[in-house]
Amino acid sequence: MSSTNQADLLPALHQLQEKLGYIPDDAIADLARTHNMSRAEVVGVIGFYHDFHRTPPGRQRLRICRAESCQAMGADALAMHASERLGVEFGATTADGEVTLEAVYCLGNCACSPAVMLDGELHGRVSTERLDAILAEGRGT
């Protein structure tokens, strides 16, 4: 991050988050200085985008599509199942720090609804059984 241009802020945030999984508080001042912005502006940008997190996420990130096409194919039941199985609400991380459960609005997999994404991996036509299998595989069990 040697740039002084605000236009490089989003790529820098992506890079940081990819490395650490979140944007730590102590990176804010540095981001502000290198992109010629105030700290408040940097925090404002981070807060605007769903992708960026300011606290460490779980080891894995499970995103379940809650949008219309997936709803038409049973995504609500799938979401409820995931929440019950993991024992967390959407937006929260399991107590063991393994999985963060998130809602996502469209993964572009609408012709294979319902869809989920575990970390970067996309899955289609996901039944509750399939979701259990995907999670089990992800945990290496």
Partner 1 sequence: MTQRIFVPRDASAVSVGAERVVRAIEHEAQSRGLAVEIVRNGSRGLYWLEPLIEIETGGQRVAYGPVRPEDVAGLFDAGWLQGGTHALCHGPSEDIPYLKRQTRLTFARMGVTDPLSLEDYRSHGGLKGLERALAMKAEDIVGAVDTGGLRGRGGAGFPTGIKWRTVMNASGDQKYIVCNADEGDSGTFSDRMLMEGDPYCLIEGMIIAGLAVGADTGYIYLRSEYPEAWDVLEEAIITATREGVLGDNVLGSGRRFELNLFKGAGAYVCGEETSLLESIEGKRGLVRAKPPLPALQGLFGQPTVVNNVITLASVPWILAQGGEAYKAHGSGRSRGTLPFQLAGNLKHPGLVEVAFGMTLRELLYDFGGGSASGRPIRAVQVGGPLGAYLPESRFDLPLDYEAFTAVGATVGHGGIVAFDDSVDMAKMARYAMEFCAIESCGKCTPCRIGSVRGVELLDGMMAARPQQSNDDALLRDLCQTMLDGSLCAMGGMTPYPVLSALDHYPEDFGLAPKRKEASA
- Report the distance separating Cα 95 and Cα 104, nearest Å: 22
Q: In the set 70, 79, 101, 131, which binds partner 1 (CB under 8 A)?
A: 70
The answer to the question of residue 128 lying near partner 1 (CB under 8 A) is no
23 makes contact with partner 1 (CB under 8 A): no
ω into 114 cis (within 30 of 0) = yes
Stretch that binds partner 1, among 22-30, 69-77, 82-90, 91-99 (CB under 8 A): 69-77
Q: Give the separation between CA 75 and CA 15, rounded to whole angstroms.
A: 31
Tell me whether residue 4 or residue 96 sits nearer to partner 1 (CB atom): 4
Widest Cα–Cα separation across the chain:
50
Q: Is 52 a binder of partner 1 (CB under 8 A)?
A: yes
Q: Which pairing describes strands 99-104 and 116-118: parallel, antiparallel, or unpaired?
A: unpaired
Under rule CB under 8 A, residue 69 binds partner 1: yes
Does the protein bind partner 1 through residue 64 (CB under 8 A)?
Answer: no
